[in-house]
Amino acid sequence: MKNYIADRTSLVDASGIRRIFNLAASMKDPVNLSIGLPDFDVPDALKQVAIGAIEQGQNRYSVTSGSPELGRKISEKIRSDIGWSDPSVLVTSGVSGGLVLAFMALINPGDEVIIPDPYFVMYKHLVNLFGGKCVFVDSYPDFALPVEKIANAITDKTKLIILNSPSNPTGVVYSSEQIEAVVKIAAEKEILIISDEIYDKFCYDGPCPSVAKQYDKTLLLSGFSKSHAMTGWRLGYAAAGESLKPVIEEMTKLQQYTFVCAPTPLQQAAITAVDYDVSSHIADYKVKRDMVYNGLKDKFEIAKPGGAFYMFIKAPGGSGTEFVERAIRKNLLIIPGGVFSEKDTHFRICYTTGNDKLAEAIEILRSLA
């Protein structure tokens, strides 16, 4: 039979995660710590804005770059938080949509993209799909920003450095000193940095430093999916200062021929979400972080996460996949670290569930240790 599938699809290997979820298919009411999905719902006030927009007929396309009012609100936030005087903003279909557009706009075949390992799973596959070359820099065992390794990885083909802080899958928050050191390295050769800050509100031990405050050649990606539980609403944004305005322009052009626009009535809710206080949820998640870390630290090797809602834990016995298979047999669903890394030595848990379920998960993990 003739093969109709494009060759590029072979560059995306989903076999590891598919195998785990095939194993999980027979689980009955599992203790599920697998998916980065907040366990609270979209705040009612924001739901009502979205419902009102739908009922008022705001259901057509928005302009490609997004609702002008939302763009202004995001620009005001960036001017206040980052200090850019006149940021360019594109409303995207989640940070994932922003990543697709950014890589499409920036990566030529053969361009090298430096990615600290472990990494958010989409980075690797999108770079490969667009013909780039991933250059992974190992950040084990503590997952701090590997500044010296990044410096050593730079070549004449280096196009981008990707930073994700707070991190998925590790929950680690990069320090101001680490970020400043990487900025010096990038600035020397005018290398662009993409900063994925979707978890920027989930910082438990102090503010989360942003590379955008220190480096004008930063493309900032963020959104509302995690902080406001809008994962299904697909609302994010890309922003840049004056020096990267052409990048936002090209991403906007590409959005016109791909996503068209982010969902229009939901953008109206995002206008309100920009200033909506989610600090009570962040406080709840700090309690969960401490509960899980304190419950496991004497049995496992863990780098204490400073943000997001993940822990990346070293697997006893050395194989993350084998440990996850053992956990599934105990009715606990977690993800092997090889999904997020070139190594398979760890596993990721996501503590976005009720405290009773977390207590159950802690007991299962301790029994497996």
Residue 302 has which token pair?
């863990």
CA distance 345 to 314: 6
State yes or no: pLDDT of 300 exceeds 80.
yes
pLDDT digits (tens, 9 = 90+) for 3-23: 899 999 888 887 677 777 777
Q: Hey, which CATH number is domain 60-273, 3.40.710.10, 3.40.640.10, 3.30.110.70, 3.40.50.300?
A: 3.40.640.10
Q: What's the pLDDT at 20?
A: 76
CA 77 to each of CA 43, 130, 165, 171, 288: distance values in angstroms, whole numbers, following the listed order: 20, 32, 19, 24, 28
Q: What DSSP element (H or E) covers 185?
A: helix 176-188
Provide the percentage of residues in the chain whose pLDDT is more than 90: 91
Confidence of residue 2 (pLDDT cuts 50, 70, 90): confident
Q: Are strands 332-333 and 31-32 parallel, antiparallel or unpaired?
A: parallel
pLDDT digits (tens, 9 = 90+) for 49-71: 999 999 999 999 999 999 999 99
The residues that bridge with 164 in the sheet, in sequence order, are: 196
Confidence of residue 27 (pLDDT cuts 50, 70, 90): confident
- The DSSP output letter for 333 is E
Q: What's the pLDDT at 162?
A: 98
pLDDT digits (tens, 9 = 90+) for 67-99: 999 999 999 999 999 999 999 999 999 999 999
Tell me what the pLDDT averaged over the chain comes to: 95
Q: What's the pLDDT at 23?
A: 74
- Judge whether 7-41+278-368 and 60-273 match in fold: no
Q: What's the pLDDT at 11?
A: 87
pLDDT digits (tens, 9 = 90+) for 309-331: 999 999 999 899 999 999 999 99
Confidence of residue 286 (pLDDT cuts 50, 70, 90): very high
Confidence of residue 188 (pLDDT cuts 50, 70, 90): very high
pLDDT digits (tens, 9 = 90+) for 111-128: 999 999 999 999 999 999
Provide the percentage of residues in the chain whose pLDDT is more than 70: 100
Residue in 317, 288, 262, 142 with CA at minimum distance from that of residue 204: 288
Domain ranges of the chain: 7-41+278-368, 60-273
pLDDT digits (tens, 9 = 90+) for 192-215: 999 999 999 999 999 899 999 999
Q: What's the pLDDT at 110?
A: 96
The CATH fold assigned to 7-41+278-368 is Aspartate Aminotransferase, domain 1 (3.90.1150)
CA distance 346 to 359: 21
Beta strand residue intervals within the chain, DSSP E = 31-32, 88-92, 112-117, 133-138, 158-164, 192-196, 218-223, 236-240, 310-314, 332-333, 335-336, 346-350
The residues that bridge with 134 in the sheet, in sequence order, are: 113
Q: Are strands 332-333 and 133-138 parallel, antiparallel or unpaired?
A: unpaired
